[in-house]
Structure 1
Amino acid sequence: MSAGTFTPSPGAAPLARMIGAQAAFETRMLLRNGEQLLLTIVIPSLLLVLFSTVDIIDTGAGDPVDFLAPGVLALAVMSTAFTGQAIATGFERRYGVLKRLGASPLPRWGLMCAKTLSVLVTEILQITLLALIAFALGWSPEGNPLSVLLLLALGTAAFSGLGLLMAGTLRAEATLAAANLVFLLLLVGGGVIVPLDRFPAGAESVLALLPISALSGGLRDVLRDGAALPWSELGILTVWAVLGLGAAARFFRWE
């Protein structure tokens, strides 16, 4: 081949490169969205600072930030993996974006992998920022970091499954309303800010089975109380992850 002569080589890019490019695009879109930033970063940060510095809610013995920081970390995971992902994916489905991406060389399972990577990158940014704020407020975490990572991974899987299930079965407007409503309800009744033992005994038993309660309670057991592995909370999150991801794979509609 002589200099300056090029031979066309049509074809898709390697799969890993396609997934990486789509994940980077999804992350940029998320971080450019002011409403999503409010939900994923601003609200958890404000809640952490407010309730750690103002004596509004009785969080029990010890420094309030030691109770609040694990709950706010769980809230950050839910805001990104469930609420933010459900809303964004729901409107992508409505506007035909998912249909067009589904016809691209990137396979549909690759698109889901890219969305998952985007969620994980966003969560790393959230957790880093919230941890720095908590440390500035006097947080003194304990426990095994591997246990924390396992809880966060299972929590992400559980909330991602539920978010994709909602986005893939409801209309975009209904997803927007339902995801925000669920976020508010679980913020109040999921042990994030208000301890579950402040609720009536019957309600406490039911609320403890929610994924946000299991994640916030498990993180609190490890980071505040120094527990090794909170098996009960891990079991609850595993069940939610299996059910949520399984239902999303079965019922998700691309258009």
Structure 2
Amino acid sequence: MTHTLGLAPRPGAASRPRRVLAQASFEVRTTLRHGEQLLITAILPALFLVVLARTEVFTLPVSGGQERIDLVAPGVLALAVLSSAFTGPAIATGFDRRAGALRLLATTPLGRGGLLAGRILGVGFIQVLQVALLASLAVTLGWRPPLAGAALGALPFAAGTAAFTALAMLVAGTLRTEAVLAGSNLLWVLMAIGGGVLLPTGSRWLPSAALGDGLRAAMSLEVATVAVCTAILIGWAGVLTAGALRWFRWH
């Protein structure tokens, strides 16, 4: 067969970066089209932000000279990390595992590493959208965070994302799908309300409390507290990642 214009077919898989980006794009589209995940990742955090910042329904531990929005906004951003890095990936991975999609994708050129990389990258894309949406809403409500605080907050934000993504993989890779769905939603509620995410609890050894306290401290430029919280989150990320690698089941 003669090929025109000097072009020849190029059979084979796409390059690894293209495969990972394609998987990440698929993860983002799936999340944005899924009503329950959209509710947890965007609608509920925005609702918490407005209700806690603009109503007197709940009494907040606001210190002298601090506005309600100054306390609420970092907590809502921490809640966004919890939603995008834990609840959404845990549910999606659990259903993919039950349907056999994980086992199938593991045998494709994407591979297990590419699948996990694409899922993690997809979480990152969702978080960019979350931060843009929630930070814009908070600024509209009167939040004026220092630029240095935003840069400092990237440390607990990234460490928290790693810790909760590892927790999502551990839960989704070891429990039955029904237990993943119920457990991830229950943990989201418990960590959001009583786990130190939205409001400080006084103890930051839980990953949820370390994340919330770390972001609140960053916006107050409390460098020492941010360092401690980030270290705690990195420790949790290491332990949970080791557990996920040890016990994760692909089928």
Q: Which residue does 1:117 correspond to in 2? A: 121
Could you say what the CA RMSD is over the residues aligned between the two structures, in angstroms?
1.5
Return 235-244 or 7-16, whichever deviates more.
Answer: 7-16
Q: Which residue does 2:20 correspond to in 1? A: 19
Using the TM superposition, give the Cα deviation of residue 232 of structure 1 relative to its aligned residue in structure 2, in angstroms. Answer: 1.3
8 Å Cα contact 1:68-1:192 kept in structure 2? no
Q: Which residue does 2:62 correspond to in 1? A: 60
Is structure 2 residue 137 aligned with structure 1 residue 138? Answer: no
Q: Give the partner amino acid of 2:235.
A: V
Q: Which residue does 1:167 correspond to in 2? A: 172
Q: Which residue does 1:200 correspond to in 2? A: none
Using the TM superposition, give the Cα deviation of residue 5 of structure 1 relative to its aligned residue in structure 2, in angstroms. Answer: 8.2
Q: Which residue does 1:254 correspond to in 2? A: 250
Q: 1:252 to 1:2 in 2, by over 3 A?
A: closer
Q: Distance in 1 between matches of 2:20 and 2:91?
A: 21
Q: Which residue does 1:85 correspond to in 2? A: 89
Q: Distance in 1 between matches of 2:62 and 2:186?
A: 28
* Larger relative contact order (Cα-Cα within 8 Å, sequence gap ≥ 6): 1
Q: Distance in 2 between matches of 1:219 and 1:242?
A: 20
Is structure 2 residue 196 aligned with structure 1 residue 238? Answer: no
Q: Which residue does 1:201 correspond to in 2? A: none
Q: Distance in 2 between matches of 1:32 and 1:20?
A: 18
Q: Any stretches of 5+ residues in structure 1 without a counterpart?
A: 197-203
8 Å Cα contact 1:211-1:236 kept in structure 2? yes
Q: Distance in 1 between matches of 2:3 and 2:104?
A: 39
Q: Distance in 1 between matches of 2:83 and 2:223?
A: 26
Using the TM superposition, give the Cα deviation of residue 6 of structure 1 relative to its aligned residue in structure 2, in angstroms. Answer: 6.2
Aligned residue pairs, count: 245
Tell me the TM-score normalized by structure 2.
0.93
Q: Which residue does 1:199 correspond to in 2? A: none
Q: Distance in 1 between matches of 2:245 and 2:3?
A: 51
8 Å Cα contact 1:90-1:172 kept in structure 2? yes
Q: 1:150 to 1:193 in 2, by over 3 A?
A: closer
Is structure 2 residue 40 aligned with structure 1 residue 39? Answer: yes
Out of 218, 235, 239, the position equivalent to 1:222 is 218
Tell me the TM-score normalized by structure 1.
0.92
8 Å Cα contact 2:213-2:229 kept in structure 1? yes
Return 73-82 or 141-150, whichever deviates more.
Answer: 141-150
8 Å Cα contact 2:196-2:208 kept in structure 1? yes
For residues 122-155 of structure 1, the C-alpha deviation after alignment (integer angstroms, 9 at most, x for no partner) is: 0110011100111011112123433211211101
Q: Which residue does 1:154 correspond to in 2? A: 159
Q: Any stretches of 5+ residues in structure 2 without a counterpart?
A: none
Q: Give the partner amino acid of 1:57.
A: T
8 Å Cα contact 1:71-1:192 kept in structure 2? yes
Q: 1:8 to 1:193 in 2, by over 3 A?
A: closer
**Identity across aligned pairs (percent)?**
45
For residues 52-97 of structure 1, the C-alpha deviation after alignment (integer angstroms, 9 at most, x for no partner) is: 0011222322211100111110000001100111011000000011
Return 14-23 or 141-150, whichever deviates more.
Answer: 141-150
Return 229-238 or 17-26, whichever deviates more.
Answer: 229-238
Q: Distance in 1 between matches of 2:3 and 2:177?
A: 55
8 Å Cα contact 2:95-2:177 kept in structure 1? yes
